[in-house]
Amino acid sequence: MTNKKPSIFKMIRAPFLTSVIAPLAAGTLLCVKITGFINIPGFIIVLISGICIHIATNVYNDIYDTLQGNDSVNSERNEFSGGSGVLQSHPELLGSMYSIARIALAAALCFNIALMFFIERELWLLLWILFAVSVFFCKYYTAAPVKLAYRGMGEISVWLAFGPMAILMAAVGQNLPVSNELFILMPVCGLSTLSILLIGQMIDIEADRSAGKHGVASRLGTGITSFIYIAVHCGIIINITALYIFTSISAWYLLLPLLPYLLIFPGAASNALKNHNMPHELKKTAAATVKIHVLFSVLLITGLAISIFY
């Protein structure tokens, strides 16, 4: 075995950054469709700021889950749940992890200040409210004394951050106040990210309970959580259907994000129900869930991009 120092990509859990890229891109594209105009500097700044906050979130989660004992008792860690495991194998990197998180937040702050020069003054208050709440979720999702994820509030904060808040931030970057069509888009990306969290909780349930991290699975058990997992995905299907029916676009390409629900989801749902209390088997469902999330995100962005040209 090797004790090779982990890469920066592992430390920031880079593959999961798609969770923030997708809603920011989708929200921007819908704004462009509504207004017929794209604020390119606004999009770039919002995208980089969002990625910086997500990097800080991933790193802080690893730090505080490790310090509070959750990661140290997790025997089911995998590439889809349980954190990066960086501090378990390299505890000497704690200072570096803190530095990464703080630098990422400082960069996000600078980019938000820069954004003020590219948006209307009446949107400044909303910009800084969104930033303040994002930073609060970033650190206190796991950090004491709040520890949202330990007190049964992690799920709602994840949905808010990667759903309504991210879509609103995209709209701010495009100088667009809230619109009915944006309201319809707001829930769906957050639900997609929430589905990954839920299956991860089912895998990590014993470690979470040992460390006092009481999310949905820890509180209600894996059986009920498997039904909630399926309900969340059903919510995504309903949300995409509503986007097709109730927006001015109403075109077939808005239904493209449903393809992974025809191709992958039936098997993932069946395995989640059948093996809800078998962490090793659930890792297959976790992998399928991430595939659904990535394919869904790409197809949502693709459908909205096509709508701009038609």
Q: How many CA atoms lie within 13 A of 274 on its CB side?
A: 10
Task: State yes or no: pLDDT of 21 exceeds 70.
Answer: yes
Question: pLDDT category, 124, cuts 50, 70, 90?
Answer: very high
Please report the sign of the dihedral spanned by the C-alpha atoms of residue 286, residue 237, residue 52, residue 301: positive
- Give per-residue pLDDT as tens, 177-224: 778 899 999 999 999 999 999 999 999 998 888 888 889 999 999 999
Query: In sequence order, which residues have a C-beta less than 8 Å from that of residue 102 and are 6 or more positions away?
Result: 56
| Backbone φ/ψ region at 143: left (φ over 0), alpha (ψ -120 to 50), beta | beta
Higher pLDDT, 85 or 63: 63
Biggest CA-to-CA distance, the chain? 57
Cβ-count burial of 262 within 10 angstroms (0-12 exposed, 13-18 middle, 19+ buried)?
A: exposed
Whether 166 and 253 have beta carbons less than 8 Å apart is answered as no
Alpha-carbon Rg for the chain, nearest whole angstrom, is 19
Task: State yes or no: pLDDT of 20 exceeds 70.
Answer: yes
Determine the pLDDT at residue 302.
97
Question: pLDDT category, 81, cuts 50, 70, 90?
Answer: low
Beta bridge partners of 177: none
Question: pLDDT category, 74, cuts 50, 70, 90?
Answer: low
Lowest mean pLDDT among 67-81, 166-180, 231-245: 67-81
